[in-house]
Chains A and B, each alone.
Chain A
Amino acid sequence: QKEVEQNSGPLSVPEGAIASLNCTYSDRGSQSFFWYRQYSGKSPELIMFIYSNGDKEDGRFTAQLNKASQYVSLLIRDSQPSDSATYLCAVLGSSNTGKLIFGQGTTLQVKP
């Protein structure tokens, strides 16, 4: 079992729809969770981080964390073609080493 798993996609949604990206992790002691967006050939850029169970909203983005189910998700409302990218889930493990473990990423395609 991979430490951080994401469906590689591609996930295709029409413009204006809600895109739902999911991530599961294996280390039950993990405390911090990050979502990065990466355009093709570019570096990852942070969208959101979440530490506590529940929802965290920032503009069109909502991160959801359920530690009991070891599940973190990212919702993108009113999806735009410019949201088309690969979304990387990253988890800070319980060993407190500062090392992030990345999922393989989910490719999102938003069609006009």
Chain B
Amino acid sequence: DADVTQTPRNRITKTGKRIMLECSQTKGHDRMYWYRQDPGLGLRLIYYSFDVKDINKGEISDGYSVSRQAQAKFSLSLESAIPNQTALYFCATSGRDSTDTQYFGPGTRLTVL
């Protein structure tokens, strides 16, 4: 089984709808991250969490919110989806050491019509 899983893998929704993307990990890592990827823009950090009670905004948090339900689960919500949130979304995890490698989930392709 994959160490980092994301659900759903693909989602098409309409403008104004609320969407939740979920991430689970079995690596036992404390740190979890949400990124979005757009063509030509690379990976951009949305939110990150170093433990259940520590959640921080990344560089592009506007329009998004997160919930860290447990050490192993980190969810990303779009309260009212808009078309420019159409992107590939990745969850990642890493260990407690700041130099630890980040491991990525398989991604969620989100299309907002």
Report how many A-B pairs have Cβ atoms within 8 Å.
Answer: 52
* Cβ–Cβ < 8 Å partners of B43 in chain A: 44, 88, 102
Answer yes or no: B99 CB below 8 A from chain A CBs.
yes
Contact of A32 among B41, B88, B99, B105 (CB under 8 A): B99
Q: Closest approach, in angstroms, between the C-beta of A57 and any C-beta of chain B? A: 18
Q: How many residues of A contact B (CB 8 A)?
A: 24
Q: Measured between alpha carbons, how far is A105 from B104 in the docked complex, in Å?
A: 16
Most buried by A among B43, B88, B106, B107: B43
Does A62 lie at the interface of the complex (its beta carbon under 8 Å from any beta carbon of B)?
no
Beyond A92-B99, A98-B48, whether A44 also contacts B104 by CB under 8 A is: yes
What 1/0 mask marks residues of chain A from 71 to 112 whose CB sits below 8 Å from any chain B CB?
A: 000000000000000001010100011111011110000000
Min CB distance B61 to A, Å, is 13
- Chain B contacts with A in 77-113, Cβ cutoff 8 A: 88, 90, 94, 98-107, 109
Q: What mask results when residues 14 to 37 of chain A are scored 1 for a CB within 8 Å of chain B, else 0?
A: 000000000000000001101000
With both beta carbons as reference points, the residue of chain A lying nearest to B103 in the complex is identified as: A46
10 new A-B contacts, CB < 8 A, other than A41-B109, A44-B90, A98-B100, are: A34-B101, A44-B104, A46-B101, A49-B99, A49-B101, A88-B42, A92-B99, A97-B98, A98-B48, A100-B45
